[in-house]
Structure 1
Amino acid sequence: MEEITVIFHGTNGWYTSKTGYTTCITIDTPECFIILDAGEGFTKIPDVYPSIKKPALLFFSHFHLDHISGLHTLARCRFEDGLSIYGPPGVEMLSTFIGYPYTVPIGELAYPVTITKLPEGRSDLHVRVKTAPLVHNQPVFGYRFELGKTIAFCTDTGPCDGIITLGAGADLLITECAYLPGQEDPGWPHLNPEAALRLSKEADAEQLALVHFAADLYTTIDHRLSIRDIGPEFSDVIIGMDDMIIKL
């Protein structure tokens, strides 16, 4: 089986700071190029991948600005086999956001772009993907990709069954970690490190990676790394950093 390359281009939540850009992750597979959210980390893609000669699929968890702001650099990208954008209900509004007065319109890009609302459950695209609703103050989708290796992505969510469903037996479960250890706020659902690890274990995921660290809480890289001090059970957890590469 050919190698799958996962790159964390942006690992901050809310806003870009010295600790990282806002959320964007790519999964480069032999068959297609998958993008998870398009925060400011998205702006790095043309430098890492000057030309992408396979189907490119961009999946949105939701539409808060820290997950879509990087779309203003679509004109720098070279998706030579086109770009297919997918997301939960409301994704259609991106056809307005990707246009004047905000940025270069879809019709003026150098490659074709489509925007499609995904249903809950399984969809067969260039890749088999499963969606499930998560828990936030806006509708949010989590994703599970079956690529030979299984990768799940769940961000901007409080603890919920959707994470367990999507992460079940996954080779890599990527979750958010906006809150500090022990911090909770049911009115603004996010995960702290303990909840993320607990859900990963309940899902029996092989490996857990944490991203989407709240920029106002994890103000230094050392704050992120201090998660390991919670206890030995965190020794194998991947603490996401901008430009980190994982090979599967």
Structure 2
Amino acid sequence: MEEITVIFHGTNGWYTSKTGYTTCITIDTPDCFIILDAGEGFTKIPDVYPSIQKPALLFFSHFHLDHISGLHTLARCQFEGGLSIYGPPGAHMLSKFIGYPYTVPLSELTYPVTIMELVEGRCNLQIPVQTAFLVHNQPVFGYRFELSKTITFCTDTGPCEGILTLGADADLLITECAYLPGQENPGWPHLNPEVAVRLATEARAKRLALVHFAADLYASLDQRSAIKNIGPQFSDVIIGMDDMVIKM
């Protein structure tokens, strides 16, 4: 079976700190290179993958700064097969962010880049992708990638039907975990570990990985690791740490 390599380059939410860089995850498949969000973790990609020959596809959940700030290092990347950027409505504004006076513009990169706004539902791209709106204070997309293994990515969201739809029977469900155990704030929708586990169970996901830990709340890695101690249902949960590698 074709091997898939998932790397958590950045697992913090809001800002980079001693616990990690802000959110960026890559999924390396035999046919394409998938990038999930481009927080500061994105800056690590050229060191791990000096040259990427296959097509690269970058999917944005939304456009808060902690998910796009790594774009200022696009000029360091070698996407020899080109880079296609996808996101929810509003994605085209990235063409203004990726340019002067902020950073090197798209037209001066050494590889071709395209930007496309996606609609909710199944998308006809190079790979089978399904999107769904999540619940946040800005439009946010979750993604389901149907590869040789099914991988779902849902961040910056409160509990919602979109997570269940995208995460149904997924081999790996990656969700955020911004809040501490027992913490909730409906006015600023995010997940705590208990809710993330409940949603993964309802979706019948085979594995759950937690990322996007709020940097101000999870001020130490020990706080993340302590999630394993909440109860037996957390024993198999993957606690995302920067530079963690999962082979599928």
TM range (shorter): over 0.9
Assess if the C-alpha contact under 8 Å between 1:211 and 1:239 holds in 2.
Answer: yes
Aligned positions of 1:1-248 closer than 5 A: 1-248=1-248
User: C-alpha distance in 1, partners of 2:12/2:124?
Assistant: 30
Q: Which amino acid aligns with 2:89?
A: P
Q: Secondary structure at the match of 1:80?
A: coil
2:92 and 2:110 map into 1 onto residues whose CA distance is 20
**Could you give the per-residue CA deviations for residues 146-177 of structure 1, whole angstroms, max 9, x where no partner exists?**
00100000000000000000000000000000
CA offsets per residue over residues 86-117 of structure 1, 9 Å max, x none?
Answer: 00001000000000000000000000000000
Which residue identity is paired with 1:31? Answer: D
Letter in 1 for 2:72: H
Whole-angstrom CA distance in 2 between matches of 1:25 and 1:127: 17
Give the Cα separation in 1 of the matches to 2:142 and 2:84.
18
Would you say the 8 A contact 1:156–1:176 is kept in 2?
yes
Mapped to 2, the partners of 1:56 and 1:124 lie a distance apart of 16
CA distance in 2, matches of 1:151, 1:206: 10
Structure 1 contact 31–126 (Cα < 8 Å) conserved: no
1:72 offset after TM fit, Å?
0.2
Aligned residue type for 1:48: V
Give the distance between the partners of 2:181 and 2:225, measured in 1 at CA: 12
Q: Secondary structure at the match of 2:42?
A: helix
Question: What's the offset of the Cα at 1:229?
Answer: 1.3
Measure, in 1, the Cα distance between the counterparts of 2:81 and 2:148: 22
User: In the aligned structure 1, how far is the partner of 2:44 from the partner of 2:91?
Assistant: 23
Runs (4+) of structure 1 exceeding 4 A deviation are: none
The superposition leaves residues 12-48 of structure 1 with CA deviations (integer Å, 9 ceiling, x where unpaired) of 0000000000000000000100000000000000000
SS in 2 for 1:223: helix
Specify the SS of the correspondent of 1:20: coil
* C-alpha RMSD of the superposition: 0.4
TM-score (norm 2): 1.00
Q: Which amino acid aligns with 2:88?
A: P
For residue 200 of structure 1, report the CA deviation from its aligned partner. Answer: 0.1
Q: Work out whether residues 2 and 148 of structure 2, in 8 Å CA contact, stay in contact via their aligned partners in 1.
A: no
Q: Distance in 2 between matches of 1:154 and 1:81?
A: 27
Q: Is the 8 A contact 2:172 2:209 kept in 1?
A: yes
**Contact 1:170 1:205 (8 Å CA) reproduced:** yes
Cα distance, 1:124 vs. partner? 2.2
Residue correspondences, number? 248
Q: Which amino acid aligns with 1:148?
A: S
SS at match of 2:6: strand
The 2-side partners of 1:178 and 1:106 are apart by: 32
